[in-house]
Amino acid sequence: MIAALDQPKIQAILTSLVEGVIIFDLDGQVIVANHIAERIFHTARGTLVGKTMQAISPNNGELVAMVDEAVSGGKETFAETMLGTHNQVYRVVVRPIKNDSGQMEGTVVVFHDITDIRNFAQVRSEFAGNVSHELRTPLTSIKGFVETLLDGAMANADTCRRFLTIIDTETDRLSRLIEDLLTLSSIESKEKLIQPVPVNLAHSIRTVINMLGPQISEKDLMVKFIYPPEMPLVHADEDLLGQVLINLLDNAIKYTPIRGVVTIRCRERESRIVITVTDTGVGIPEDSIPRVFERFYRVDKARTRSQGGTGLGLSIVKHIVESHGGQVFVKSEVGKGSTFGVCFLTV
């Protein structure tokens, strides 16, 4: 029956599907395969016809066994497997084709790409674990000091003041973490509407430098601001642009040693302004560079926490910049410092 089917009609139907589909005859050879299936196995148009599953995917024993079981025993099976050069994850359904009398006529294999679903599930799981950990740390500290005070430490004024200072610091840290989580959530979900207007970038950068003046003075840092005299305005949401600049400069200040140098530079590149913030800090190991914009990723976890970081600042920068159609990048060398860069469209 399958061999007698109108092949052009079958192919037209299969072409409209987003899943990969392969139909085998009773000998286990392909009689029909759509273009998605050909793309999954990186083969040219029409070259799967006549091949067995063993010939198509010789290194995937599970998939070969599933097709063999369906062809020989009429058994329907399901599995998740990785296919292709990029290790895409597919949910594979192998189902026997039977006529009205229950006789086997062939086998159909459907490949549904669930890579994004699995990646999202992993990211969500990691995010939940990271949030729980980040919240637990200050809460445990606060609870411990409160219990100690209630157990009698309040009687000593110096001890009481020291413990309350620590509790206040940890409470501030919790507040920053929650605020950053809400900011990141609103940007990712597009709840926060971006309202781009022409912005004087030089003015915004000077404002941020003045805002972070106490931290700069405390470490006796030299901050250089280099920009072209006729720098065009940028097209950006002024509040969000300010948050990007604050996070980048604050990050540079934290990781630059006393009497170090932080350089903010603006360059015009075609229809964009590239802003770089370069420090003379500790630098980032090469294997950590691709991950620095991930949520909660820290190169030096203990040091970042001691300096009050939430682990979300650079992730917020990335989301804000990309929501404006820009890009982020980082260059670094251990012991010599780092350069973080972003770009925005000019007016």
DSSP characters over 16-31: T-SSEEEEE-TTS-EE
Quote the pLDDT of residue 302.
46
Report whether 296 contacts 257 (CB < 8 A). no
Tokens (6 digits) for 5: 């089917």
Tell me the pTM: 0.59
- Asked if domains 116-192 and 193-347 share a fold, the reply is no
The tokens 């229950």 sit on which residue? 102
Quote the pLDDT of residue 6.
57
What is the rounded distance in angstroms from the CA atom of residue 320 to the CA atom of residue 317? 5
Q: Quick one: fold of 7-113?
A: Beta-Lactamase (3.30.450)
What is the rounded distance in angstroms from the CA atom of residue 98 to the CA atom of residue 105? 5
Q: Quick one: fold of 116-192?
A: Helix Hairpins (1.10.287)
For the chain, the structural domain boundaries read: 7-113, 116-192, 193-347
Instruction: Please give the angle made by the CA atoms of 153, 159 and 162, to the nearest 5 degrees.
Output: 125
β pairing state of 30-33 and 88-98:
unpaired
Query: Would you give the DSSP letter of residue 289?
Result: G
Quote the pLDDT of residue 332.
93
Q: Quick one: fold of 193-347?
A: Heat Shock Protein 90 (3.30.565)
Tokens (6 digits) for 80: 């998740």
What is the rounded distance in angstroms from the CA atom of residue 314 to the CA atom of residue 247? 7
Bridge partners (DSSP) listed for residue 169: none
pLDDT in tens, the chain (347 residues): 454 455 666 667 777 788 999 999 888 899 888 989 998 888 888 889 999 999 998 888 888 888 888 888 778 888 888 887 677 889 999 998 888 888 888 899 999 998 877 777 666 666 666 677 677 878 888 888 898 888 888 888 888 988 898 898 888 888 878 887 777 777 776 666 788 899 999 999 999 999 999 999 999 999 999 999 889 999 999 999 999 999 999 999 998 999 999 999 999 988 899 999 999 998 999 888 888 888 777 776 544 555 556 678 898 899 899 989 899 999 999 989 999 999 999 98
Quote the pLDDT of residue 4.
45
What is the rounded distance in angstroms from the CA atom of residue 225 to the CA atom of residue 223? 7
Quote the pLDDT of residue 60.
85
β pairing state of 30-33 and 20-24:
antiparallel
What is the rounded distance in angstroms from the CA atom of residue 65 to the CA atom of residue 87? 20
Its sign, for the CA torsion 42, 44, 47, 48, is positive
What is the rounded distance in angstroms from the CA atom of residue 162 to the CA atom of residue 168? 10
Number of H helices, E strands in the chain: 11, 12
Quote the pLDDT of residue 317.
92
Decide: helix, strand or coil at residue 49: coil
Helix %, strand %, coil % for the chain, to 5? 45, 25, 30
